[in-house]
Structure 1
Amino acid sequence: MKKQLLLLILCLSTQLNYSQVISMIGSTSPSGNWTVDTDMNTTDNITYTLNNVTITTATDPGTTGLKFRQAHDWTVNWGSANFPSGTATQGGANIMTTAGTYDITFNRVNGTYTFIPSGFPTIGIWGPAVDSQNGFVGPDVKMGTTDGIIYTLSGFYFSSGTAYFRFNNDNFNTWGSVAFPTGTAVQGGPTIQVTGGEWFVTFNRNTGAYSFAYPSVGILGTALNGFTVADTDLSTSDGFSYSISNLVLTDGLVKFRKDNSWDVNWGAVDFPTGTGTQNGPDIPVTAGTYNITFDKSNGNYTFTNTLSITENAITNVKIYPNPTNSFWNISHTTTIDSIELIDVTGKMLQRFTPNASQFQLDGAAFSQGVYFVKITSGLDFAVQKIIKN
């Protein structure tokens, strides 16, 4: 009897040591301050939840918002600037919440979290592609939503394997399809075969349409339209190397960021080439028209002024008189498809389509100074400097 009692005490002690207390704390949390925790519920020591919780709006990233923390102690805490969903990191930024009543989920292992307005169903992605060790025995990773129709997941790295979309943690309410990376899931459909990697996932609860897309990388800042407007997205074919061509920038500052969120962003003081670091300084840009490349895996970037590009250069182009007081004659041995007149800031002033081997460019209306012409013929082009007296 004593041995059984000791064994029971040992088991209870082990269970208590295993279970971790996870709470929310902050000025916008249910407690309303940074000294009182609101404990979350768990059944597996991994996924923690709170339902029908009222939170307020964060206004200052330095003093307001909320965080998740362990054991009512700041030694282990998680945060991220993203809302209503994201991937929190140890010691990350305050979560900038928006007032409302939410069902909240936090995953202690991978840091993912969602704030879903109460009354909306929860939808997660579930299976070996999410949890390679536990598979369908493990928890799903919750997706975020603001309208209960379109659900998204950003910043999560999948393993190669199968997965379902699962409603309200119900193993009998799963949606799937054989298609990847896009398709239309149906209730009770087959598992989705996911290729390992980082994906930005969207799911439409009404239609079942879903997509696994490469994370977007955009550029924004005062050199474009400011830091509060939408990003100008770069293109990618592999989710690592991103690029954009002929982007006009003014003197100012820019940054790169992922998925239109400050949760992951890159910056540095170097220009026109450098290596951006997470939350690094704004990149100082000189006005011009640029071809830009960015590597998400290491943060390397280049800004190449299109006026300095010499590839595919046209030869046998004549421009005369140059300098001129009135007009320039432009001639080429083959057909000229287009001529662009560009000022010293890289701004295109005029564009012509001669479709002939000769063209007269009238400069009478332009101020004295230096200009450039970009002459295109087929796949080839040339950029030459012209001067107005």
Structure 2
Amino acid sequence: MKKALRLLLALLFYSQLNYGQVISIIGSTSPSGSWGIDTNMTTTDNITYTLNNVVLTTATDPATTGLKFRQDNDWAINWGNANWPSGTATLNGANIMTQAGTYDITFNRSNGTYTFIPSGFFSIGIWGPAVDSQNGFGGADVDMTTLDGINYTLSGFNFSSGTAYFRANDATVNVWGSTAFPSGTAQLTGPSIPVIGGEWFVSFNRITGAYSFTYPSVGILGTALSGFTSEDTDLTTTDGFTYTILNLTLTDGLVKFRKDNTWQTNWGSTDFPNGTGTQSGPNIPVTAGTYNVAFDRSTGDYSFTSTLSNVENSRLKVTIYPNPTQATWNVAHTTTIDRIELFDVTGKMIQSFAPNAMQVQLNGANLTPGIYFVKVKSGSDFTVQKIIRN
């Protein structure tokens, strides 16, 4: 009898050791509507926790509304991230900015990944050795997100080289595959997809089977464009690391770079026109102008190069001398010069005047040594030329 009791106690201890963590959601937009009452999730492995058919409300203020995941009904361990409807929650992170609806929720306690999928929609995941190189098809799916139950996406996941399927509701009988990579049309019970290792932005259409693995997108947005709530202006890339956009016109304002059109991964800095953006760093202060923009996703390095630096067009036959100079340039033209504008290398105008003469002196004595650009207008014609202050 004592031996049986000891065995029972050992089993209970083992159960508590392996399944002892209670994970819940809590917050003003959770089912309880309170930051003081938890709604517990369920698990079979103490790693992946789920909660289905959960009614949530809309978060309106990131400081006071939204929800979080927490452990053992205690604030000592809690996770959050403002991104919605999926992301990677961090310890003591921001409130999750929910949208009203009924959702099936999944949370991974080990890596912090979470998804909120509208209830009644298929759960679509990517499954196989390319997702879990150690366990292969014996491992779990990485869930994709959807807003309509048809189009599913996955952002910010690093794949191993290997094969994978799309599958529905974690069931091996509902798998789609194809031999094509990086894009193709997957067929039900088709062959596994040969994935090349790396970070990919994945899209999948549950109805047509169309899928693609593309480089993560990097966009720029902010008040210097159409605001921080508008769509990103995407840069282009050929390798998934270096991104560029040419002739981007900006106003005085602020911008940030971000990945895959979400705030989960974004970069900023106080430096302009060149700098190194840090994760969730400050907004970049931009001076009005037209720029060629470059961004390196691996280092965060960025540059805004004024397109004036590329202008050597001379529809006007203007003579500027001496150039370089330490003090004054003489600007001469065969007809009347209506206006002269002086710009620094960022495109910021620092002088503008109307000489109404064929020859004029441009004073650079108070300028910092470096490269400048002078725009000379006469009638409907103009020219922009590079000048140097020694």
**TM-score with structure 2 setting the length:** 0.81
Cα distance between partner residues in 2 of 1:87 and 1:161 = 24
Q: Which residue is equivalent to 2:217?
A: 216
SS in 1 for 2:333: coil
Question: Residues of 1 paired with 2:273 and 2:263: CA distance?
Answer: 22
Change (3 A) 1:221 1:315: closer
Q: After superposition, what is the alpha-carbon deviation per residue over 1:316-363, rounded to whole angstroms, capped at 9, x for unaligned?
A: 9944763743799xxxxxxxxxxxxxx976xxxxxxxxxxxxxxx994
**Tell me, what secondary structure is at the counterpart of 1:224?**
coil
2:336 corresponds, among 325, 332, 342, to: 325
Letter in 2 for 1:8: L
Structure 1 ranges of 4+ moved more than 4 A: 313-321
Query: Once the two structures are aligned, what percentage of the paired residues are identical?
Result: 67
3-state SS of the aligned residue for 2:3?
A: helix
Deviation at 1:163, TM superposition (A): 1.1
Distance in structure 2 (CA, Å) of the matches to 1:172 and 1:106: 24
* Structure 1: gaps of 5 or more residues: 329-342, 346-360, 374-382
The residue number in structure 1 matching 2:363 is none
* 1:137 paired residue number: 138
Between the aligned partners of 2:89 and 2:177, the Cα distance in structure 1 is: 28
Q: Which residue of 2 aligns with 1:50?
A: 51
**C-alpha distance in structure 1 between counterparts of 2:333 and 2:78, whole Å:** 66
Is residue 2:159 matched to residue 1:158?
A: yes
CA contact (8 A) 1:180 1:194 kept: yes
User: What secondary structure does 1:97 align onto?
Assistant: coil
Alignment of 1:275-354 (within 5 A): 275-309=276-310, 318-319=317-318, 322=333, 324-325=335-336
CA–CA distance in structure 1, aligned partners of residues 91 and 240 of structure 2? 25
CA distance in 2, matches of 1:285, 1:57: 33
Match of 1:364 in 2: 379
Q: Which position in structure 2 is the counterpart of 1:77?
A: 78
- Cα 1:16–1:250 change in 2 (3 A) is same
The SS at the match of 2:230 is coil
Distance 1:102 1:16, change over 3 A: same
Once the 2 structures are TM-superposed, how far is the Cα of residue 159 of structure 1 from its aligned partner?
1.8
Q: State how far apart, in whole Å, the 2-side matches of 1:180 and 1:92 are.
A: 36
Deviations 1:69-121 (A, max 9, x none): 22222232222222112222222221111100111111222322211111111
Partner amino acid, structure 2, of 1:9: L
C-alpha separation between the residues in 1 aligned to 2:89 and 2:243? 25
C-alpha separation in 2, matches of 1:46 and 1:80: 19
Q: Residue in 2 aligned with 1:9?
A: 9
1:384 deviates by 5.7
Q: Are the structure 2 counterparts of residues 89 and 196 from structure 1 closer, same or farther at C-alpha, using a change threshold of 3 Å? A: farther
> What is the Cα deviation at residue 3 of structure 1?
3.4
Tell me the amino acid that sits aligned with residue 237 of structure 1.
Answer: T
Aligned partner of 2:250 in structure 1 is 249
Match of 2:365 in 1: none
Query: How far off its partner does 1:238 sit?
Result: 1.5
1:123 is aligned to 2:134: no
Aligned to 1:348: none
Structure-1 separation of matches of 2:333 and 2:255: 37
Say if 1:325 and 1:151 are closer, same or farther in 2 by CA, change over 3 A: same
Q: Which amino acid aligns with 2:288?
A: A
1: CA distance, partners of 2:121 / 2:300: 38
Say if 1:69 and 1:78, in contact at 8 Å, map to a contact too.
yes
1:85·1:153 contact (CA, 8 Å) conserved in 2?
Answer: no
Q: Distance in 2 between matches of 1:3 and 1:177?
A: 56
Contact 2:49 2:108 in 1 (8 A): yes
Contact 1:86/1:153 (CA < 8 Å) preserved in 2?
A: no
* Alignment size in residue pairs: 342
* Counterpart Cα distance in 1 of 2:348 and 2:70: 53
Equivalence for 1:34 = 35
Structure 1 length-normalised TM: 0.81
- The C-alpha deviation readout for 1:250-296, integer Å capped at 9, x for no partner, is 21111111111111111111111111111211111112211111111
Residues 83, 316 of structure 1: CA spacing in aligned structure 2 closer, same or farther, 3 A cutoff?
closer
Is residue 69–residue 76 contact of structure 1 (8 Å, CA) maintained in 2? yes
Question: Which residue of the partner structure matches residue 66 of structure 2?
Answer: 65
**Measured at CA, do residues 180 and 27 of structure 1 come closer, stay the same or move farther in structure 2, by a change above 3 Å?**
same
- How many Å separate the matches in 2 of 1:10 and 1:127? 35
Secondary structure of the structure 2 residue equivalent to 1:34: strand
Q: Which residue of 2 aligns with 1:335?
A: none
**What SS class does the counterpart of residue 10 from structure 1 fall into?**
helix
Q: 1:89 to 1:323 in 2, by over 3 A?
A: farther
